[in-house]
Structure 1
Amino acid sequence: MTFDPEALGHSRSDLAAALKEQRRRAGWTQVRLAKRCNMSQTKVSNIESGKLTPALVDVELILEALGAEGPLAAEIRLLTRSANTEWQDHGASRRRGLDKKQDELARLEAATREFRFFLLSMVTGLLATPEYIRASIADVSGDQSKIIVRKLERQRVLLEARKSFTFILTEQAVRWPILPPPAMAMQVDRLASVSRLPNVRLGVLPLAGHVPERPLNTFTVYDRRLATVETGTGALMLRDRRDVNAYRDDFERYEGYAVWGEDCRRLLSEWSMIFTRQCE
């Protein structure tokens, strides 16, 4: 599928129109289609009006019920993939205000029970010290204090016992010197501290050893319903089940190469001491 960020916003309405037209061509009512697909008539109505983005499994049920096949059915499947993909431009987020972005993330975190973070090059805000957060948004114009406060407030989610968090950080993410050595030592110590929370698993991928994988992006998986993939200019929000499962599978492979528990904390202690010695 060709990726066109500007087209993603139109795919939901296009999909809704295509499914509605397919039903009408078959001469079916929404009630009949809903009964055949074991859905409510309200759900079918919301899909056809564009109020609800259907998952691929819903679309497959509809296409099968209507006997749709060939190029048109293939096009509807592509529209479904696009409709379940959203592009969030970093520039647009900054113009709108990164404090508002923090509110969006807080709502997403409130609705999620199981988190998986793969951190390729930097520490995520949930694990960051105030100094690290300030350095990570140093290029953001205007008053940064509100953003820092909101990021720190979001860290309270780590204390919610009913939620589980798994973080995998590459050695590069842990040791990238975005701060002077004393502050970097404090940041590494913060990781070790968080790793002791009962609902948190934190592992690192050291450069020593053999990891026959090729990680390209930082990504986060929220339950089984959403994967976000970071790029240099924005983030992809993937809701298609195939995409989410693919990133869950990637995460599971990296888990097997990561170092956990006391072995992880020993590595973090070594890296913290390296920063400390640089201050002497």
Structure 2
Amino acid sequence: MSTDFQQGRTALGARLRELRAGTSQRVLAERLGWQQSKVSKVEAGRQTPTLVDLSAWAHAVGQPALADELAARLQGIESHSRSWRRQLRSGHGPVQDALTVEYERSTVLRAWEGAKVVGMLQTPDYARHVFARYAELHRSPRDLDEAVRARVKRQELLHRPGRTFHIVMWEAALHAGIAPRHVRAAQLDRLVGAAGLDTVRLGIVPLGAEVAVPPANGFWLYDDRLAIVENWHAELWLDDAESTALYRRVWNALSDSAVYGAHARRVLTHARAHLEGP
């Protein structure tokens, strides 16, 4: 969890505790219909309240007019950390639509992915299996058809002039068994084709290659103005210059360890042949 996010959540908790002055946690919990432990966690900055929670809090302490202030504070926190629990309440489709806006705003896009094939290059079948795995993990609505359609629709940007996609993946991502073999084989064929697009520069960091930084979280950089980083619990949307510069350095370091062109195609061909083995 980012330091800025935790500081913001702690500050929000302090503000809620201030509004509770004169009322015990037990009494407030009874008014809200919560466990007292939830009140304690929210005030201590160990649990993020929802907009509904904040509105209920404002009413329970007799200051309903402050609901908007509390909502604004929460929005300020979540502008950087967007929990999957909240984002996926309506499924993956709306999340994909929100990301498309950032792709359309950008001209130079850089990606690092070490665990799976990057979304912009996924086949529909591969994408369906990825969404299904995450829907199961987060216990979110399984709007797989809508999510796949949104992802495939966004891939039309690969064929429009005016954008460049610099994508670097770890070779391990080519072997991750998150879909049946025939789906992964078709996905690797798709990568070979994508590597030939004028808008795409695809690099693969081979297993065993020396790297300046450990291959870790996947992320996208949008024109060096925004970094979107995936964690298990949330996406981090980082738009401050220091953070985007850091992720650019990480991307540069991993890109320097990647192979491109014919060498990258050999790595892809090797991974494809591995799927045809016993």
Instruction: Specify if TM > 0.5.
Output: yes
Of the structure 1 ranges 206-215 and 251-260, higher mean CA displacement relative to structure 2 is found in 206-215
SS state of the match for residue 98, structure 2?
helix
CA shift digits 1:14-62 (9 cap, x unpaired)? 9xxxxxxxxxxxxxxxxxxxxxxxxxxxxxxxxxxxxxxxxxxxxxxxx
Q: Which residue matches 1:135? A: 129
Q: Across the two proteins, how many residue pairs are aligned to each other? A: 210
| Match of residue 58 from structure 1 | none
Matched, 1:91 2:92: no
Q: Distance in 2 between matches of 1:247 and 1:157?
A: 23
- Give, in angstroms, the shift of residue 262 of structure 1: 0.9
8 Å CA contact 1:84–1:238 kept in 2: the answer is no
Distance (whole Å) between structure 1 residues aligned to residue 259 and residue 185 of structure 2: 19
1:51-130 equivalences in 2 (<5 Å): 86-130=80-124
Which residue is equivalent to 1:268?
268
- Cα distance in 1 for residues equivalent to 2:84 and 2:237: 13
What is the TM-score of this pair, normalised by structure 2? 0.70
> Cα distance 1:193–1:184, how it changes in 2: closer, same or farther (>3 A)?
same
TM-superposed deviation, 1:239: 0.4
What amino acid is the match of 2:101?
R
Deviations 1:134-184, CA, capped at 9 Å, x for gaps: 111114234421111111111101111210001100011121011122221
CA distance in 2, matches of 1:96, 1:132: 21
Cα distance in 2 between the residues matched to 1:108 and 1:10: 29
- Cα distance change, pair 91–83 in 1 and its aligned pair in 2 (3 A): closer
Percent of paired sites with the same residue: 28
Q: Shift of the alpha carbon at 1:97?
A: 2.8
Structure 1 unaligned segments of length 5 or more: list them.
Answer: 15-81
Please name the residue that 1:162 is paired with. 162
Contact preservation (8 Å) 1:9, 1:83:
no
Alpha-carbon distance change, 182 to 162 in structure 1, aligned in 2, over 3 angstroms: same
Stretch moving more, 120-129 or 197-206: 120-129
Deviation at 1:269, TM superposition (A): 0.8
Residue 4 of structure 1 corresponds to: 5
Partner residue of 2:246?
246
Q: CA deviation at 1:83?
A: 7.2
| Residues 132/118 of structure 1: CA separation in 2 closer, same or farther (3 Å cut) | same
Q: Which residue of 2 aligns with 1:47?
A: none
Deviation, 1:4, is 3.4
Equivalent residue number for residue 55 of structure 2? none
Asked whether the 8 Å contact 2:213–2:250 carries over to 1, the reply is: no
**AA aligned opposite 1:2:** T
* Residues in 2 aligned to 1:274 and 1:155: alpha-carbon distance in whole angstroms: 27
Q: How much has 1:216 moved relative to structure 2?
A: 2.5
The answer for the alignment partner of 2:256 in structure 1 is: 256
Q: Root-mean-square deviation (CA), in Å?
A: 2.5
| 1:121–1:173 contact (8 Å) kept in structure 2 | yes
* Aligned residues of 2:93 and 2:143 also touching (Cα < 8 A): no
TM-score (norm 1): 0.69
**Unaligned 5+ runs, structure 2:** 16-75, 136-140
Any conservation in 2 of the 1:115–1:166 contact (CA below 8 Å)? yes
215-224 vs 134-143, which deviates more? 134-143
Q: Secondary structure in 2 aligned to 1:209?
A: coil
Compared with structure 1, are the counterparts of its residues 164 and 134 closer, same or farther at alpha carbon in structure 2 (3 Å cutoff)? same
Structure 2 Cα separation of the partners of residues 222 and 251 of structure 1: 12
Q: In structure 2, give the amino acid aligned to 1:105.
A: L
SS in 2 for 1:237: strand
Partner of 1:197: 197
Q: Separation in 2 of the partners of 1:181 and 1:215?
A: 25
